[in-house]
Structure 1
């Protein structure tokens, strides 16, 4: 299966969900043009309150589209964009990527920085959803399924249907942690 973009989203406000778009433009070192989370320093409200000068490692939020299929099978009604992601993917196991992986997406390149640490607003979307996206697996490890974050290394336009090319960094590979 070829890895590709299922959908793209953006929002100029700090609403939880993002609107579907025909395309988004990624700006090098900044994020999604016109998105509330774009910037060289943190743009998430809770992180700005702690230290507004912190570098923005969360410029682009990606979620694997297969998650929406799984959630639907479990009775949730969640569509691409409703969890606040900018890019919904298909055919790439985002959680297996190490830190520093380069994703060529359309005309742009995103460098993976880490896992999204979801907030309790997820349960405002649908009760019980947070427990499905953050839980302990059978080995007692905390699993976070609310997507990954990245920074824009090369700007450009991204559209649904664009191919995603994965370029792993040289070893050693470091697993994703929350950013």
Structure 2
């Protein structure tokens, strides 16, 4: 029997640090992101992207990672807990990396997040745990880069999100487009 899709943990940080702090709940704000989080905003908030063009839209309002990835990393000797890779929502039971661009994640009763793309992890991940970058970024036999550090999304409908909240995936109609880094 498969595990129903749910929120495993939620995390937030009002400052630009690598890891986020686990919380009892977070509040998603439509068009903004996570209330009180350093990455919330209509326009891009990630430092490198702000430096390139501070007017570009924020396609990275919410960062989601599956607990299954964290479990796999722990089995490989990396002690990684929810929030430590910078995610706001740690999920259970959803193959996040297999979702198409535009998939909707209906969380709790009210919140809706549209998946915009893949997180593109940087070298900071090795500052957190040496060697971890090679576990979340790899190469397919054809040379294609495989990114496993979660997905990014924008908030379409706000609401309070807590651990154990249900998540329903709604796939977009029409052609499905593979996730690319955002």
TM-score, normalised via structure 1 length = 0.98
Write the mapping of 1:58-77 to structure 2, written as runs, cut at 5 A: 58-77=60-79
What is the CA RMSD across the aligned residues, in angstroms? 0.7
Give the 4+ runs in structure 1 shifted more than 3 A. none
In structure 2, what is the equivalent of residue 88 of structure 1?
Answer: 90
Give the drift of 1:139.
3.7
1:68 & 1:160 partners in 2: Cα distance? 16
Moved more, 24-33 or 130-139: 130-139
2:8 & 2:149 partners in 1: Cα distance? 16
For each residue in 1:26-80, what CA deviation from the matched residue of structure 2 results, as whole angstroms up to 9, or x when unmatched?
A: 0000000000000000000000000000000000000011011100110111111
SS at match of 1:12: coil
In structure 1, what is the equivalent of residue 166 of structure 2?
Answer: 163
The count of corresponding residues between Structure 1 and Structure 2 is: 179
Q: Which runs of 5+ in 1 are unaligned?
A: none
Q: Which runs of 5+ in 2 are unaligned?
A: none
User: Pick from 93, 97, 103: which aligns with 1:101?
Assistant: 103
